[in-house]
Chains A and B, each alone.
Chain A
Amino acid sequence: MPVTATRIVVASAAALALLAASGSGALAQKKYDAGATDTEIKIGNIMPYSGPASAYGVIGKTEAAYFKKINDTGGINGRKINFITYDDGYSPPKTVEQARKLVESDEVLLVFNPLGTPPNSAIHKYMNSKKVPQLFVATGATKWNDPRDFPWTMGWQPSYQSETQIYAKYLLKEKPNAKIGVLYQNDDYGKDYLKGLKDGLGARAASMIIAEESFETSEPTIDNHIVKLKASGADVFIDIATPKFAAQAIKKVAEIDWKPLHFLNNVSASVGSVIKPAGYDNSQGIVSAAYLKDASDPQWDNDLGMKKFYEFLAKDYPEGNKLDGNVVVGYGVAQTLVEVLTKCGDDLTRANVMKQAASLKDFRSEVLLPGIKINTSPTDFAPISQLQLMKFKGEKWELFGDIISADVGG
């Protein structure tokens, strides 16, 4: 009798424990913040569909197409993505208005990939005070990697500074007596690149950089700046310009018969939209760095990952131009978000989104160069921090050297 009583007590206690465990398990399994339900995940986004930077709007359109594809194949853990994207015209006050609309009126779970340094700076504090993830911002500024002060903001692409630091490392090793002429766009992006270069060269920056020329995007041509740089006697040309100006620079350098070692920033390394218009002959020997595969470069035609990308373009986003590097960016960053949300499982709280985003281990999007991996940790909010140098030869970029890491803290 006592035995049975004990048995019953033990059994019922075990059952209770089991019940409690499964109960709390069920609770832990389904946790939602605003913007997430059993059937839907609301994601906000802000893009310059109009205004001076409207060329980047393609990124938002690519993301929308990619999420639609994900929804058509069943969504993420059974939930459909509701992608709400607004136009800010690249004007920071408008960005604030749209971000507040997304957070307070649409009640999204997170704001994903808002574009541009000034727009993101404008909402940086707001997003962090509201504790809403400002995830994978589309800018290469260095300040997004600052988990201590801004735990709700994370970048995605390698920072501009890390790229020029890599060039600086390369120069110090291969051409320590270089006389450097720099051309840069007079805005946040150009100045960030320049800072990276100077930091990378360190104490030698002052003696190695013999000429700096800045230009405004409103200038119709930058020919005069190139002529001045040649006249300075520089034998290394660091070209920090967006595609249109980069193509002009490549042409002009060839035209005036200047033969420097030409470094072209990654922003303009597209074969389709820069090199080809500037002329293959004029582009031989240019050095650049990359982290993504160039969809207009024929060497990736038979690449397994890129085949999937081309398939996506053909089937889900036929209006996308494969010569436009922004399409590849949009695809890659959307894939990264899907990975994060998949890992979140049924715990779709904002805190968990950031936790999962900060624990990506060797994640690879198909459009990343071979060997480049996305890694994050609670102290490293710079998902992609590797680049590989490449030299233009014939009609394509030839990757050379090892994959180089350059993490720059915010």
Chain B
Amino acid sequence: MSAIQEVVTEAPAVEAVPKRAMTLGYGTSLAMLLVLILVPLFVKNFVIFQLTMLLIYALAVLALNILTGGSGQFSLGQSAFYAVGAYTSAILMEHADINYALTLPVAGLVCFIFGFLFGQPALRLSGVYLALATFALATAMPQLLKLGVFEKWTGGVQGLVVTKPDAPFGLPMSQDMWLYYFTLAVSIAIYIFSVNLLKSRSGRAFMAIRDNEIAASAMGIDVALYKTLAFGVSAGITGVAGGLGAIAVQFVAPDGYTITLAISLFLGMVVGGVGWLPGSIVGSAFIIFVPNIAEGISKGLSGAVFGVLLFLVIFLVPHGARQVAVVAQHWLGKLKNG
């Protein structure tokens, strides 16, 4: 009894997030959605492109959030899944002439299988060791993509150019705007899926494993299955994001999917708040826009400026956007009552 209790009371690796706190209320969600739908109507194409990238990285961050925030497993290898998704879409579009929208489920499925398989050996690892194993995956991926054997399909170091889709049915909107709304629709679908997943039996199993593996297995949860499943789902969503990224950027090359991307995604998750799904979009905004701000402050020292900004964020709001949201909610409540 006392031995079990000791295990149970040990400090958890990741701060537990109750499942209600992982999402937003309906009102806020709708307001957010309205903003996302309306903004593109008033801005330049270039900004629409940035917003599309924002949604795409938000998806990738969300995927990592399910893995880390949901099931408590670390990954520095998300760039590898992103790359596989991007290449799957690009190859299908350019070599097999398949419609871009149809390549996304394929990219997701391929990555799901890839992630699920990778999750098998990763089962034996936890914490920093798992982080290292996934790190190895991320560093290996660009080189694998350059391999001569695959060059016929991947284009080797030269990469592949992807054709950008036009708006269908002769809709009077630019390619960028169409792609934005297409990405938005995919993102919303995946967001709803993720929220429901975490609220479901599987989601509860993820969180039980995150909070205490031994207790979870004692409750009859198949730890191995759910851990690999979390990897698979996370990889699958990242793959879809990668596919969308390839279509939006119109180009895939090994240099686009280095370890830097994996670290950026990890960073986005931390800034957005680990385990808080809506934070993904905040984290994504951070990794897209803050480097630009840093560059604006100092060209030569952009890396250092970025570091300082990151340090400030971590120092002031260690729980990321979630903390800001909680504080804001608190003040709003006070205003209402006072």
Q: Which residues of A contact B (CB under 8 A)?
A: 49-52, 85-87, 89-93, 96-97, 100-101, 103-105, 117-118, 121-122, 124-126, 141, 186-188, 191, 216, 218
Contacts and interface: CB of A to CB of B under 8 A. Distances in A.
B253 A121 contact: yes
Contact of A90 (B49, B158, B255): B255
B29 interface: no
Nearest to B157: A188
B256 A91 contact: yes
Contacts of B159: 92, 118, 121-122
Name the 9 nearest CB pairs between A and B, nearest first: A104-B46, A188-B157, A122-B251, A118-B253, A92-B256, A118-B255, A100-B46, A93-B249, A96-B249
Interface string B123-154: 00000000000000001000100100000000
B245 A93 contact: yes
Contacts of A118: 157-159, 253-256
Contacts of A100: 45-46, 49
25 contacts: A85-B299, A86-B295, A87-B302, A91-B260, A92-B253, A93-B251, A96-B250, A97-B49, A101-B46, A104-B46, A105-B46, A105-B47, A117-B157, A117-B158, A118-B158, A118-B253, A121-B158, A121-B159, A122-B159, A122-B256, A124-B161, A141-B158, A186-B157, A188-B157, A191-B156
B334 interface: no
Main secondary structure of the interface of A (DSSP, over half): helix
B276 to A, nearest CB: 26
B260 A89 contact: yes
B12 interface: no
Contact of A91 (B46, B49, B258): B258
A84 B82 CA distance: 31
B251 A96 contact: yes
B53 interface: yes
B162 to A, nearest CB: 9
Given A90-B255, A124-B161, A141-B158, 8 more contacts: A91-B258, A93-B53, A93-B256, A104-B46, A118-B157, A122-B249, A125-B161, A125-B251
A50 B158 contact: no
Contacts of B260: 51, 89, 91
Nearest to B158: A188
A125 B302 contact: no
Contacts of B258: 52, 91
B299 A105 contact: no
B146 A187 contact: yes
Contacts of A86: 295
Contacts of B46: 100-101, 103-105
A91 B47 CA distance: 19
A89 B254 CA distance: 14
A216 B143 contact: yes
B50 interface: yes
Contact of A191 (B157, B245, B299, B302): B157
Interface in B213-242: none
B121 interface: no
B300 interface: yes
A92 B161 contact: no
Nearest to B295: A87
Contacts of B49: 96-97, 100
Contacts of A90: 255
A189 to B, nearest CB: 8
Given A187-B146, A187-B157, A126 B302 contact: no
A149 B50 CA distance: 28
A121 B161 contact: yes
